[in-house]
A and B are shown apart, each in its own frame.
Chain A
Amino acid sequence: MAERRYTKDHEWIELNGAIGTVGITNHAQEQLGDIVFVELPAGGKKLTKGGEAAVVESVKAASEVFAPVSGEVVESNPEVSKNPALVNQAAEAGGWFFKIKVANPKEVSELMDAATYKKFVETQH
């Protein structure tokens, strides 16, 4: 299984060949609370690392999801558009947001690994 990397903005990316699957972390969905709407990027959209990629709305507020790396969106997850609560139920599995054709794989390896992200989350409290 491919290794997952994490951002300080609480996104995860898993690289399979040139395609990265992106979502928000379980910690992020816990912080957001009940998610009621997700706006995902359309296939073909070019994203820049750190730029706005998607929007997730909880009952309380709207939050931006940033592109963990640069690249072109291959597809977005129709299941989370139909059922945004899936992000609460399975943020790091079936609740993924979109797949991206990664421009520079080095941008992925530079992100935090699971252990580093876990420590990062702990320092946030």
Chain B
Amino acid sequence: MGDTAVHSLRKTPLHALHVELGARMVPFAGYDMPVQYPAGILTEHNHTRAQAGLFDVSHMGQARLYGVAADKAIETLVPGNIVGLALTRIRYTVFTNDQGGILDDLTIGRAGDHLMIVVNAACKEADYEHMRRGLPKGMRLEVLEDRALLALQGPAAEKVMARFAPDAAKLTFMSFASMKVAGLDCTVARSGYTGEDGFEISVPAKHAEVFARKLLAEPEVKPIGLGARDSLRLEAGLCLYGHDLDTTTTPAEGDLGWTIAKRRREEGGFPGDKIILKQLAEGPPRLRVGIKPDGRAPAREGTVVLDGKGKEIGKITSGGFGPTANGPIAMGYVARGKTSIGTQLGLVVRGSTLQAKVAPLPFVPHRYKKA
């Protein structure tokens, strides 16, 4: 680990708390972040599925977009139906480029006088620049630099949140509201990236540590690092930008057609629309699928995928061990015609070909609190 790189890493408002809790800190997207606490990734993963895990996701970008018809304006950059987004609702979408590739994945929520936008840490500066340059005059992007973002995820999350904010329990999956939480002005969303029910809480940075300590003092809550966040989201079949999605993958290839509503398919009007819509109509040349190795050996990102005859047909983009799935799991891109569930695949791991099959996603059922 290069010392100079470490010194230039940014810190979230919870950095000192992570260190105090004994976290192993690693560089991630320009931040010094906890990959695990002393309990370890397996225990943290299992705790989140059984109780409630607290994640620091303050490195992610939070911004508000103000302006008349901001919804119509942002639709020129994303294929999601934002005009049709109801008040308090949140939608998952992507920024696309003219080739139909994905610049980032993000969520957009509709508040009374603005759109709430949450983007990935590694892409946030580029995303802000992309919006400032791509949106018409009269739009104002307010980047929320002074807010932390905490995720409380797991079956006990609702019970815990209700102790601090009774109204939070009334939210349904992919909706949000401003409310007092433990006396602090917060924005609470019923969302997350673990496949579990849970909340993402935007809290003023200066109060973030005190608030995190209050949550951690609850018997159901333990701190969870990036390691378990990765195994949880992989089991949930959720994409990690820069791995499962990037500028070379289209939303059709990434199996994100569900994020593009009928009206947007009919009207187009987003970058790369012709390419993406053609792929959605005719089927993309390759598709992101779940991949389950037959044995116990994990197949990591970059592993070459073969068809039954030994011909290279794709690559794994996320792969590892699923503690709840109790075995190796992966996602990757495979060629058209090889994407149906149960298709026999070969994975080239350390020179040997391991047998695997195309598997349904998610590997672990989602437990969202839907309306």
Contacts and interface: CB of A to CB of B under 8 A. Distances in A.
- Do A and B assemble together? yes
Interface of A: 33-34, 36-37, 39, 55, 57-62
A58 B320 CA distance: 9
B154 to A, nearest CB: 18
Contacts of B40: 33-34
A60 B328 CA distance: 12
Contacts of A60: 35, 41, 227, 230, 320
Nearest to B297: A37
A59 B350 CA distance: 18
Contacts of A57: 297-298, 321
B45 to A, nearest CB: 8
Contacts of A61: 300
B194 interface: no
B36 interface: yes
B362 interface: no
A34 B321 CA distance: 10
B293 to A, nearest CB: 10
B143 interface: no
A34 B297 contact: no
Contacts, number: 40
B344 to A, nearest CB: 21
A34 B41 contact: yes
27 contacts: A33-B40, A33-B41, A33-B227, A34-B41, A34-B43, A36-B42, A36-B296, A36-B321, A37-B297, A37-B321, A37-B328, A39-B297, A39-B350, A55-B350, A57-B297, A58-B41, A59-B41, A59-B42, A59-B45, A59-B227, A59-B231, A59-B321, A59-B323, A60-B227, A61-B300, A62-B298, A62-B300
B224 to A, nearest CB: 13
- Count chain A CB atoms within 10 A of each CB in B42, B231, B350 and give the residue with the most: B42
Contacts of B296: 36-37
Contacts of A39: 297, 350
Contacts of B323: 59
Given A39-B297, A57-B321, A59-B45, 10 more contacts: A33-B40, A34-B40, A36-B298, A37-B328, A57-B297, A58-B41, A59-B231, A60-B35, A60-B320, A62-B298
Q: Which 5 A/B pairs are nearest by Cβ-Cβ distance? A: A34-B42, A36-B321, A59-B41, A34-B40, A59-B321
Contacts of A59: 41-42, 45, 227, 231, 320-321, 323
A111 to B, nearest CB: 26
Contacts of A33: 36, 40-41, 227
A54 to B, nearest CB: 11
A114 B320 CA distance: 34
Contacts of A34: 40-43
